[in-house]
Structure 1
Amino acid sequence: MKHFFIFFIAIALILPASAQQTQKPVLYGSNWMAITGKPLAATAGAMTFQKGGNAVDAACTMLAATCTMWDTLSWGGETQVLIYNPKTKKVIAINAMGVAPTGATPEFFKGKGYNFPPEYGPLAATTPGTPGGLIYMLAQYGTLSLEEVLAPAMQMAAGYAIEAQAANSMERGKAQIKQWPYSKKVFLPHAGEKREAPEAGELFVQKDLLQTLNKLVEAERKALKQGKSRKDALMAAYDRFYKGDIAEEFVRGSKEQGGLITMEDLAKWKPIEEEPLTVNYKGIDVYKMKQWTQGPVMLQALNILENFDLKKMGYNSTEYIHTVYQAMNLAFADRDFYYGDPYFSPEEPIKGLLSKAYAKQRAGLIQSASNNPNIGPGNPYPFEGKTNPYLNLLKDRGYEMDTTKRNFAPKHDMGMNTSPDQEYQERLWLGTTSVEAADKEGWIVSITPSGGWLPACIAGNTGIGMSQRMQSFVLDSALNPFNVVAPGKRPRVTLSPSLALKDGKPYLSSAVQGGDTQDQNLLQFFLNVAEFGMNVQQASEAANFNSNQLWLSLGGTKTDDRKPKPGQILLHDSTKESVRNELKKMGYVLSFDDRTSGPINAIYFDWKHKTFTGGSSNHGEDYGIGW
């Protein structure tokens, strides 16, 4: 195997980017495409297509299956969706992010000694968003019943051969799992033995989750028997989860373990259908979720990079790496200060942030000869005809807002450790999964669901793991006045699916896991296709690079755990020695890995042949099926 990888790297260095061999084959299909982070879940999506379901039905089935397999997400987490509707020829977004519960205030968490809300346990939980998001999406745009869509997940909950990744995560996290009685009951079936978690291939049974899913199906069946419409029957299942006996047990189990979520919190929460944000990059319309996600980072970076000739620089040349790294840092500096829940005051300056003129100004700050370790947030307000109300706050932090100067000096962020740190890297990459689906009718779905990953705290006898997304809030407005925790508010999350149209037609759909690296990898994936002519499999496996010059969104409850690491860059092992040396001279601190693309899954739309091309990441268990 080692000789194979050496051969592969050698070939990669010889061949142009658009001709590189791949470890996994390109997927082809003319009827449908189903790709996700787990082979069993991709199979479930394929089964749904074979039943006659559309891409929304298949995406819901894959979402339900991945939630049932734990490891990187579960049923109590959150779901972010972009959908292309072929009937309206428009992209819509579904915001199924849970909110902070009653009592979740900065004072509450500071009183417990936190600088950020905790990473794990009941106090890390927002209200569940995935069940409501799945049901809403299915009701509005799917064709099948909830019973049909949940069938594979229910079979799995009754007992499925668990994969090694999830089983080993349970074993590794058992010390934390033992803190929570309902989690211990589910994840450690061999309590007292040397290995307390299931073994790979063992039938993993989740009786409580199966009962919960059965209750949802029962509610739908009952409503249909009463003569209610398909949509009303689906909403009956929704109401049972958020207002009925499922909600009651969820709240009871959460409170028993110290959580804050109330029945009112669940009853008041609703998924929101939104108009996504978009920019045009050289004739391609790129769509992302609103600023309660980090999605606009990719849009801002594309606007900045439009001012450079990236193709002329060459794929992963020193100049290319430096330019894209700097553009990402500029966008992330804005993310870290200006992004937050648009349904709460204050209003984010998103129009200014996505202005082409603002991007041109930001592009002018890029130093061609060296990394700028002191990049700070800009001032987008004049680009939407407003005065920045936070100039004093920015100056207090040490950011110089005179745009004629290139050296910002963020005192609040100085004195950071720039040495590579494995724990920091794990927090940077903290995982989730992705779901990609498309059909010949033209429906396209891109999802980045997450939350409730292992080690998860299960809420009572529901079998549902609670979200850990509260940790993405801040407690101090000096860090980000738009993302301070408050009851009913959504945290600014990393989760970020992508869709792109060209000439008014679907062009590219993609998503990736990996915390703060998501829009770094999706940006480079997009450029790999749009600028360098790679197919989606080549682009999903291609060597990317990641910046650590940003505030971490996940992991660590102390400010020092989250601080940026200026100049720290993760490169692929195959990076040329000359490029390494040049980057070092430019002030970069280098680290390396054999896979740096992130687990990207994607679909490309081939209008010449009227077919789909699928790319499924070579990182781990990502898997796709086309027909």
Structure 2
Amino acid sequence: MTKLFSLFLLIFLNGSLWAQDRLTGETFTTRSEILARNGMAATSQPLATQVALDILKKGGSAMDAAIAANAVLGLVEPASCGIGGDIFAIVWDAKEEKLYGFNGSGRAPKSLAIEYFMDRDMKYVPLYGPLPVSVPGCVDGWFVLHQKFGKLPMEELLQPAINYGREGFPVSEVIAYEMGYASEGMEDLPGFATTYLPNGRTPKKGEIFKNPDLANTYEMIAKKGRDAFYKGEIARTIDAFMKKHNGFLSYEDLASHRSNWVEPVSTSYRGYEVWELPPNGQGTAALQMLNILEGYDIASMGFGSTEYLHLITEAKKLAYEDRAKFYADPDFNQIPLTQLLSKEYAAKRRLLINPDKASDAFSAGDLEIETGNTTYLTVADKDGNMVSLIQSIYSEFASGMVPDGLGFVLQNRGQMFNVQDKNHANALEPGKRPFHTIIPAFITKDGKPLVSFGLMGGAVQPQGHAQIVVNLVDFGMNLQEAGDAPRMRHRGSSQPTGSVMTNGGTLNLESGFDYKNIRELREKGHRISFAVGIYGGYQAIGVDVENRVYTGASESRKDGQAAGY
């Protein structure tokens, strides 16, 4: 009798083993890693993953597959992403053995200034409606990235999404749930119900959803290029729609939009190089957290331990105060990036952590200014190129504004601007990019690619990135385990608007942490709340360069899939 048969017999006879018990790996792991040699894709929806693989098998590059998958996600996961939003990417070019950074975020309308809000005594930009709408950067991002890294024509890349838009697709479980709760209260926003509420409600799990308007928009972009969106019929439709509904986004704002190639920033963490994009994104916060944590023997503490959870929470508090003060559009600000990422600065900040007590508040660093809802996906191709790509409309269903006949919602990223303090780094200014939450990530080792990864969830993303790196490096988890492991998320009152955290904030813990440690965290002064699997959206691809083997992982918090061939 084989050992495996004996195990199955034991389960059948006495039912003593739980369903989550595994032959290998951690008990919290949902499945094994995916292994393949020719290509790999990991996205938050299986239809998008399969489209990416189809493109790779046709000879497309990793970037081709990423664009095709992103277009499908904008259709099948519309509460989280779409061409009404922005896009960021980190790309490993195998031929050059170099990382490229890409910032595809849009800017505030040129006709909208901070005085509009101050004169009306508005403390924040509203979350919904026309006021938070900024220029969508996604489509321009597709074409700029494709020009440098693409192989197949854009018409071929967008055709799968066009087909699904016209023929329909079955809505998957988590996405159906998200569409349902996120649509509450949006029924009367212009164009929303027509696009997203067939039969008066969002589609349920397994129901077929069609979006022919979006299919037509994709087809127009495929045939006429990026200018169809920024200077052609789509731009004119958006301009007229915004004017009709007292918005500020204009044809001129769209026509003048441009994306930016940027240099990724990094820090070393125990011999691994972790890469993020610089502000206006928040990736620097993940690197600051890792710099602080590097001063402790995290591995000896053990995953989920009181000591580890306390230290990573305090490191987050420190990094996020700098995030609130300094992170903003570098075209409008001088950001002390070198100092923020220095090991010396991390050592000074580390001294502020009390190992026995949760802090009520930290202040941002005193530095001299130097001169000079979201979807994440990752794809790797047979040539060794890898794409770490994240794309978002900001909050669920964003502004709720759907331009007439276009089939997509406009992002509400402008809600992130500070409209209380003209001198704040992230204060609203005409043509300025807002502080951004979406961040792709990458890890290299000895100058070679190792892991392309990211996850979703607004302000949780730097915290999530730091936890993934610690899980891989300190706790020795594999790529799937690192994403499935329960996560913490600290929530304070500190925002990009410049307010300072008080009363220590709240430490949210997913199910899976030992209650003994939770009790000890409370004894240290942490205010604890609980959540079930909401800090998710992790996708990752690892690479063994020597053996030419890709590893894929997609966590269970979403409907996602990692697959290769």
TM-score by length of 2: 0.91
- Offset of 1:209 from its aligned partner? 1.9
> Distance between the aligned counterparts of 1:451 and 1:24, measured in 2?
30
- Amino acid across the alignment from 1:97: S
Contact 1:494 1:553 in 2 (8 A): no
Give the Cα–Cα distance (whole angstroms) in 1 for the partners of residues 503 and 453 of structure 2. Answer: 28
Please tell me the residue identity of whatever aligns with 1:604: G
Aligned positions of 1:472-487 closer than 5 A: 472-477=416-421, 481-487=424-430
Aligned match for 2:192, one of 177, 183, 186: 183
Distance, in Å, in 1 between the alignment partners of 2:228 and 2:404 is 16
Rounded Cα–Cα distance in structure 1 between residues aligned with 2:503 and 2:558: 27
1:179 Cα offset (Å): 2.1
**SS state at 2:159 partner:** helix
- Is 1:440–2:382 an aligned residue pair? yes
Tell me the equivalent position of 1:22.
29
The correspondence for 2:312, drawn from 302, 307, 324, is 324
Aligned CA distance change for structure 1 residues 86 and 4 (closer, same or farther; 3 Å): farther
Q: 1:594 to 1:239 in 2, by over 3 A?
A: closer
Amino acid at match of 2:341: L
Secondary structure of 2:528's match? Answer: strand
Structure 2 equivalent of residue 501 of structure 1: 444
1:340 corresponds, among 320, 323, 328, to 328
What's the CA shift string for 1:136-166, capped at 9, x where partnerless? 1111111111101101111122132241544
Q: CA RMSD in A?
A: 2.6
Residues 1:521 and 2:459 aligned together: no
**Percent of aligned pairs with the same residue?**
30
Structure 2 distance, partners of 1:105, 1:143, is 41
Whether the aligned pair in 2 keeps the contact of 1:541 and 1:597 (CA below 8 Å) is: no
Is residue 605 of structure 1 aligned with residue 549 of structure 2? no
- Among candidates 409, 415, 418, match of residue 471 of structure 1: 415
2:74 aligns to what?
67
Given the alignment, which residue of 198, 205, 208 partners 2:213? 208
In structure 2, do the counterparts of structure 1 residues 594 and 244 end up closer, same or farther at CA, with 3 Å as the change threshold?
closer
1:140 pairs with 2:148: yes
Asked if 1:92 is matched to 2:100, the reply is yes
TM-superposition CA deviations, 1:506-541 (whole Å, max 9, x none):
111111011111111111111100111111100000
Partner residue, 1:250? 238
Distance change in 2, residues 1:578/1:373 (3 Å): same
**Paired residue secondary structure (1:327):** helix
Identify which of 261, 278, 303 aligns with 1:290: 278
Q: 2: distance between equivalents of 1:190 and 1:173? A: 17
Matched with 1:128 is 136
Please give the per-residue CA displacement for 1:377-422, whole angstroms capped at 9, x wherever unaligned: 012328x699xxxxxxxxxxxxxxxxxxxxxxxxxxxxxxxxxxxx
Residue type of the alignment partner of 1:322: H
Instruction: Compute the displacement of 1:127 (Å).
Output: 0.5
Per-residue deviation, 1:214: 1.8
Deviations 1:250-297 (A, max 9, x none): 111122122211111111111111111111122211110111011000
Query: CA contact under 8 A between 2:88 and 2:389: conserved in structure 1?
Result: yes
Distance (whole Å) between structure 2 residues aligned to residue 351 and residue 552 of structure 1: 22
CA spacing shift, 1:99–1:583, aligned 2, 3 Å: same
Q: For residue 363 of structure 2, what is the amino acid of its counterpart?
A: G
Partner of residue 165, structure 2: 157
Residue matched to 1:358: 345
The corresponding residue for 1:579 is: 517
Comparing both structures, which one devotes a greater share of its residues to helix?
1
Q: Secondary structure in 2 aligned to 1:579?
A: helix
Counterpart-to-counterpart distance in 1, 2:192 and 2:389: 27
Structure 2 gap ranges (5+) = 1-13
Give the 3 Å change call, closer, same or farther, for CA 354–622 of structure 1 in structure 2: same
2-side partners of 1:176 and 1:244: how far apart? Answer: 32
Corresponding residue number in structure 2 for 1:231: none
Number of aligned positions between the proteins: 548
User: Aligned letter for 2:520?
Assistant: E
Could you tell me which of 354, 362, 370 is aligned with 1:375?
Answer: 362
Match of 1:217 in 2: 222
2: CA distance, partners of 1:165 / 1:251: 34
Structure 1 CA distance, aligned partners of 2:202 and 2:359? 47
* Cα distance change on mapping 1:379 and 1:45 into 2, 3 Å: same
Q: Which amino acid aligns with 2:303?
A: Y
Any residues of structure 2 matched to 1:250-269 within 5 Å, and which? 250-269=238-257
**CA pair 594-246 structure 1, distance change in 2 beyond 3 A:** closer
- 1:332, 1:550 within 8 Å by CA — same for their partners in 2? no
Contact 1:78/1:130 (8 A) holds in 2: yes
Distance in 1 (CA, whole Å) between partners of 2:532 and 2:186 is 31
Displacement of 1:618 after TM fit?
0.8
Residue 535 of structure 1 pairs with residue 478 of structure 2: yes
